[in-house]
Amino acid sequence: MSEHITVGGVAVDTRHWIGGRRVASAATFTDVSPIDGAVLGEISRGGPAEVDAAVTAARAAFPGWAATSRAERAAVLNAVADGVEARLEELALVETLDNGALLRSHRRGVMPRVAHNFRFFAGWLLDLGREDFDTRGHTNHVTWDPAGPCALITPWNAPLMLATWKTAPALAAGNTVVLKPAEWSPLTASLLCDIAAAAGLPPGVLNVVQGYGAEAGTALVEHPGIRRISFTGSVPTARRIATTAAPNLTPLSLELGGKSPLLIFADADLDLAVDLAIEQYDNAGQVCLAATRLLVESTIEEEFTRRFLERAAALVQGDPRDEDTGIGPNIHPRQVEKIDGFVRRAVAAGARVLTGGGPNADLGGLYYRPTLLTGVAQDAEIVQEEVFGPVLTLQTFDTEDEAVDLANDTRFGLAATLATGSRERAERVSARLVAGTVWVNCFFVRDLQAPFGGSRESGVGREGGDWSFDFYCDIKNTVSAPNGWAPKGWNGHG
């Protein structure tokens, strides 16, 4: 196996990063670009041995990293952000080739956000804390103590952004990390290791083990040396992780799937509502937050649908490296098969295809046409289950109560979006929606100081701002008695 591959002119190491050095495995897995099916390289495939070595390295590095001052940790994280910015073009191109998302999005939004993840949590760390408070003359002093080695398991749809959304606060808190990136998009995690080492992150503080969930992932979450587990992915995988981690009572943060609604009321700006709906095709529909259920007030259904279909027809599908492309490929043949299965079963059950409905025969491979289905029942699979592809459903409602009931009638609760011209309605409806995030007349506006996570089966816990440090730390309260500092027998005179 070659230790390096060249992806878009960028050299990428195919080995794990453990204890500050590259480590190869005898077994490998093949990484393929979803753009054209080209093989990008053979990647080291880790298992229990590599995971144990990584956790051992993280445990050995933990005392030294935890003992560094907040200012020292913040300086290293800012240096990592500098490194990301210096290699932004390389990171953007490698990730586009690896997971098929739009190159312009990686350049303008995703990779700048990666750098911001490190800068934000470095800055937040410096201001973390609260005033001491009094209890009957006793002083309460709250501290955030590093918890220990953290297992971070990240998905393939936004690989580096979501990896650093977890890694940055974990490191800022004084923890060490073992990161397992998704096997369908592992390459930018390898580049991050090079950047972090160049920024001065000590050996063993960040470790990356590549491989499959059943092998590397399971070994990682069941390891007794892990003190925190943060996972973004599917509900079935989260259940397995929770079961595996239970014997060690390892605290979990789980950001899971969604089946989010977009509620469009008759008093909404209809052009804005169509913009919001079309935006749900972002990243070929591979966004956990996507509002894939369009709930439209019946009096505007016809006009909304006409405008939506015009906009959908204008979307350019093709190579994500092209500036004009609006929707690229899906990540993997298994994902396309899953998406198409949902659509075919929905049509067999009576759904009508208003646009799309299958793979793009002109492009072949992994390009699935942006799809809109109507005539679907509320209890239909296509309404209740996460597709994770460019597939939307359209349902209508007549009253505000009906809209809220439809919106809340799934087992998920990750996000919700609503379009309305009434501030009062927005306040009423938002208060009743079951969701971790509600967007009103906007979508995907995320601030790192805000809590992020899901309700119901969309997740456990919240991360962002103080919530990230609450999870990645052991929070301690030290209570001191009043006037308790004089040595025994001391009379107060010099």
CA separation for the pair 126, 67 (Å, rounded): 15
Nearest by Cα to 82 from 116, 108, 110, 106? 116
Given the structure tokens 């599917």, which residue do they identify?
Answer: 234
CA separation for the pair 369, 315 (Å, rounded): 10
Nearest by Cα to 285 from 356, 206, 214? 356
CA separation for the pair 59, 205 (Å, rounded): 9
Residues catalogued as catalytic: 255, 288
CA angle 193, 196, 202 (to 5 degrees): 105
